[in-house]
Amino acid sequence: MKTILVTGGAGFVGSHLIEALVKDPENKVISLDNYFTGTKDNHIEGAEYREGHTKDVATHVPEDVDVVFHLGEYARVEKSFEDVAKTWELNIPGTFGVLEFSRHKKCKLVYAGSSTKFADNGVGRNQSPYAWTKASNTDLVRNYGEWFGLDYAITYFYNVYGPREMAGPFGTVIRIFSDLYKQGQPLTVVSPGTQRRNFTHVTDIVQGLLLVGEKGAGDGYGIGAEESYSIQEVADMFGGDIVMMPARQGNRMNSGVDSTKTKALGWNAQEKLDEYISSVKDALGAVEHTTPRVLVFSTTFYPQMGIAEEALLDVMRALPSVQFDVVTTKYSQDWDTQLDLPNVSLHKVGFGRTSDKWLLPILGARKARELASSQMYTFKWSILASYGAVAALLTRKDAHIPTLITLGDQKLWSLPWHMRLALRYILNEADQVYVTDAHQTEYALTLSRRVKLVNSIGEGDAFANQIRVAYVAFLKEHTKQNS
């Protein structure tokens, strides 16, 4: 009997690895997952599941272990800029805990490194908090091999896709495109669209992991398909309308794949991306292209504009196929001016005075209920956690539409006590809360009862993720221009 520990075993790759491992009756398989992105829906019969942080692995797994597959780390490039503290917490002390566990148990460690460190001729390792922590961890794993004689092997995945891919803010490109295609919405390609990726099916990844776990030793086991595609080419495989979105920080342009050492063990990629996408489209059948609608709440709007509202206008221009209904106040010198944007409708409430903002939670909620009675909205979105956010949340009981909040550049810690009290309500009740820097995230979590600020909203996840990313990019650009 061999005892095998898989960290992140309730995640995308981890669940497929466990599914393969439990097929051997001689394997006792244990999963350790904190369920930050993992889900109990991914549990595989025959495995034993434990919940906890990898830094406490010795407490959660007292048994002797033969092999550890360490997959349980923070794993998204762009979001790591927002979640710096979480990225550090999961990837640095977490992996240190796994290394110490492996050293004391004298077991083999198979570490899932990140191919981001090879991107753009090696510059990629420093292009994001995620890439840096992962690259630093591979250095530490190698040092443990030198210092303590740790039996280890380091693998590198290349853009994994397949069944059970994550959706939402942590979603993979193929899952996001699949969800948007299913909903008849345009595919959103991050500029410039020429960035290339080596997409590898999860079953090929698992076969590589099994071989490396059995025969591999040392660093350099790339597990990636040879064919590379640009993001634009992938969107073209799905077909339909395409919208170009702003470039993202940390988004590498290319990354060559080197699977030489893995192939020497007998591994070769079997699955093809174009065939997988064809199967996804065939399974969905005919898709009706619909006009997605978003109900937006903003305390002030055009022409009474700030940086946050300017970024919102940019999003509206970038997504002409999306209909935006904006609930806002009449407070403005020229409040009846209309925007020259056919996909935007303004619904102003109040009396044209500064006191309108105090009335927005009541009057705005009434207007929102009226609109929701005749329109189907993918979600409600408040661009700041203020009066508009309260209006959005007050419509929850009458109109079951997911609520998104974007905190923008608000300095939460300097808000007066009554605003912080309102913020507690907003953070606890909203389905998704997006922030633009790590300080905001940390402070917001101290005000909230929630473990994480983003819950899934189901079929609208992919669409919400694209809107969120575009808004943050435009917001940062306007902030830079005004500084």
Q: Where along the chain do the CATH 3.40.50.720 domains lie?
A: 2-160+198-227+252-272
Say which residue, 449 or 275, is predicted with more confidence. Answer: 275
Tens digit of each residue's pLDDT (9 = 90 or more) over 104-128: 999 999 999 987 776 655 566 777 8
Position 20 scores a pLDDT of 97
Report domain 2-160+198-227+252-272's class.
alpha beta
Q: Which of 159-168, 230-239, 314-323, 417-426 has the highest mean pLDDT?
A: 230-239
* pLDDT recorded at residue 74: 85
pLDDT for residue 121: 58
Judge residue 376's burial from the number of C-beta atoms within 10 Å of its C-beta, 0-12 exposed, 13-18 middle, 19 or more buried: exposed
Give CA–CA dist 340/355, Å, rounded.
Answer: 27
CATH class assigned to 293-482: alpha beta
In the chain, the percentage of residues whose pLDDT exceeds 90 is 46
Sign of CA dihedral 461, 120, 145, 220: positive
CA–CA gap between residue 242 and residue 248 (Å, rounded): 17
Q: Which of 1-5, 172-176, 364-368 shows the lowest per-residue confidence on average (mean pLDDT)?
A: 172-176
Rounded to whole angstroms, how far apart are CA atoms 319 and 341?
A: 11
Q: Give residue-wise pLDDT tens across range 267-301.
A: 999 999 999 999 999 998 877 777 788 999 998 88
Q: How confident is the model at residue 361 (pLDDT cuts 50, 70, 90)?
A: very high
Instruction: Determine the pLDDT at residue 287.
Output: 76
Q: How far apart are CA 105 and CA 115, in angstroms?
A: 28
Place of tokens 């994480």: 452
What local confidence, expressed as pLDDT, does residue 251 receive? 60
Report the pLDDT value the prediction gives residue 352, as an integer from 0 to 100.
84
Q: For the whole model, what pTM was predicted?
A: 0.75
**Would the pLDDT of 335 be above 50?**
no
d(CA 436, CA 234): 28
Average pLDDT over residues 324-335: 78
pLDDT for 109 equals: 98
Whether the per-residue pLDDT at 405 is higher than 50: the answer is: yes
pLDDT band, very low/low/confident/very high, at 413 (cuts 50, 70, 90): confident
Question: What amino acid is encoded at 79 in this protein?
Answer: K
Average pLDDT on 59-85 reads 88
Taking only the tens place, the pLDDT of each residue in 296-326 is: 999 888 777 788 888 999 999 988 888 999 9
pLDDT at 337: 54
**pLDDT reported for residue 192:** 85
Other C-beta atoms lying within 10 Å of the C-beta of residue 170 = 21
Most confident of 31-35, 118-122, 130-134: 31-35
**Rg, Å, the chain Cα set:** 24
Q: Is the pLDDT of residue 256 over 70?
A: no
Q: Is the pLDDT of residue 334 over 70?
A: no
Of the chain, the percentage scoring pLDDT greater than 70 comes to 92
Residues of the chain with CATH 3.40.50.2000: 293-482
